[in-house]
A and B are shown apart, each in its own frame.
Chain A
């Protein structure tokens, strides 16, 4: 029972709040919230973190691995400090997302699913984020959505993130 704490008490408090949304015998329903909270704290989801979430929710580890590998926003490998995901689906592509994606690749010197040498940026190709009217749309570290990302605004964003 005295397994070392993988997550901070603050993170556990957040997970407990998520668990409280579901019937007492349905703690598993909180797994997506728990994995999100864990990833926010750790940067990515290592096996040790997944095992901890499994123990915390009373789930078989394989059931947690299944969830973590099914949903694309969970990272099962380390990513750069700034993960940029750009949607290139058809409606966005018609509004300049293809050019924006090419600009990002050229600017960062990486292709999709690659991380810059200094570990600052990981670039991902996203599927529909449900914000097509704002295209081109970039998601920064899963949580911050940036709209109408013209090449000029992408340059500003990269400069802003580099200085952090």
Chain B
């Protein structure tokens, strides 16, 4: 109940904020962005005629990793775009934010849309792309409309289109909206959707850098990734890297949800202790005890409280702890939450959102949901935990895209860390915790 309604205090996202710095919820227009130093990175590149390779090198040095979930090095991804290709190349921004627990791109786009436009312009310049599309989650219609308005401002000011700021550089940019399909957050499903088809993921390889939108070389990055680029150009890759940890450069926006006093977005330097992030979110709601946390969005393994409290929030530390940073969605569960009930809701989600293309996922997500459902409702059988593990193993690694793994990983981790709760449900037909979701 304490998340911000504009106008809010500029410090609400935390003292480390770069992308969300100085925002009040109302200062999203072009003139506000320019007053904060916006479009200076683009101006610098065009005025000094900086070579695309040099920009890619700077981004490589920054150790900026993909903020959408996979954490792939951004500079390396840009370098995969064929330099000598003579036809049109494309740039795509993945703002199809629908990973349960994640709502950071929404705040970037509605409160600081021009930072994404500038980031895309720089990426378009670096990769030699002719046009870009920003694919925005269909449910956040007001954000789509705001992005359309911001883009009009940028176009009118000469930042987008032909001869940008009087230079030879040309780049067209458009917003595109989804309309309710989690799977389109997967980059090749998103491309299919952008082509006007069902969002079913493509086989990889070929990767988008060689065969992307309309079969042309395409670079796809997450909204937050693009938003980090202007700062890197102005301050240098090394400065960005030094904010975080080796191989984990910069700040990251964590969306904190669940049993905390102040659910919301917090932008912190990578490597910040989890305990500090929890404190920024106001601590546990009602002073209850932390039981479990999913640190990277619902597709990532859950971790028990003691492991979380000893973990720092960066890609490598969370991986070492046994989960993944993913999209940066931190879902907090307190001592009163039933892990069976919690897993049931997630399993239903993957069952509902499986696109149906790959048999292991289409059928397997249904099995997972139905078996967890019967355990939750007191009809579980002794062999059900082995069955869940077996079904998960038969999905994981056997599908075209990562949704299969995303459905399997929560199941395996919930059973691994909270086996006693599942057994109690099976043996006694009821919950181990008195009050639950």
Contacts and interface: CB of A to CB of B under 8 A. Distances in A.
Interface of A: 21-23, 26, 28-33, 35-36, 57, 59, 63, 66-67, 70-74, 88-95, 98, 126-135, 139, 142-145, 147-148, 150
Contacts of A32: 176-179, 193, 196
Interface stretch (B345-353, B371-379, B392-400): B345-353
Contact of B105 (A59, A71, A92, A130): A130
B138 interface: yes
Contact of B3 (A22, A35, A134): A134
Contacts of A31: 196
Interface string B333-364: 10001000010011001001101000000000
Interface in B289-310: 298
B342 A148 contact: no
Given A32-B178, A135-B263, A89 B345 contact: yes
**Among A30, A70, A93, A95: residue with most chain B CB under 10 A:** A70
Given A21-B174, A30-B196, A148-B1, A128 B180 contact: no
B181 A145 contact: no
B255 A133 contact: yes
A73 B138 contact: yes
B412 interface: no
Interface string B78-101: 000000000010000000011111
Given A89-B346, A127-B182, A145-B142, 5 more contacts: A32-B178, A57-B196, A63-B196, A128-B182, A132-B101
B338 to A, nearest CB: 11
Contacts of B256: 133
B100 A128 contact: yes
B179 A74 contact: yes
A66 B198 contact: yes
B179 A73 contact: yes
A59 B177 contact: no
B265 interface: yes
Contacts of B265: 133
Interface of B: 1, 3, 88, 97-103, 105-106, 133, 137-142, 174, 176-182, 193-199, 214, 255-259, 263-265, 298, 329, 331-333, 337, 342, 345-346, 349, 352-353, 355, 437
Nearest to B101: A91
**Among B102, B179, B352: residue with most chain A CB under 10 A:** B179
Contacts of A71: 138, 178-181, 199
Nearest to A70: B198
Contacts of B141: 142-145
A93 B345 contact: yes
Contacts of A36: 138, 177, 179
Contacts of B198: 66-67, 70
24 contacts: A26-B214, A32-B178, A36-B179, A63-B197, A70-B181, A70-B199, A71-B181, A89-B345, A89-B346, A89-B349, A91-B331, A92-B257, A93-B437, A94-B258, A95-B258, A127-B180, A129-B139, A130-B102, A132-B101, A133-B103, A139-B139, A142-B139, A145-B141, A147-B3
A96 B280 CA distance: 21
Contacts of B352: 127
Nearest to A97: B437
B194 A29 contact: yes
B103 A90 contact: no
A26 B90 CA distance: 14
B136 to A, nearest CB: 10
A11 B126 CA distance: 38
Nearest to A71: B179
Nearest to B341: A93
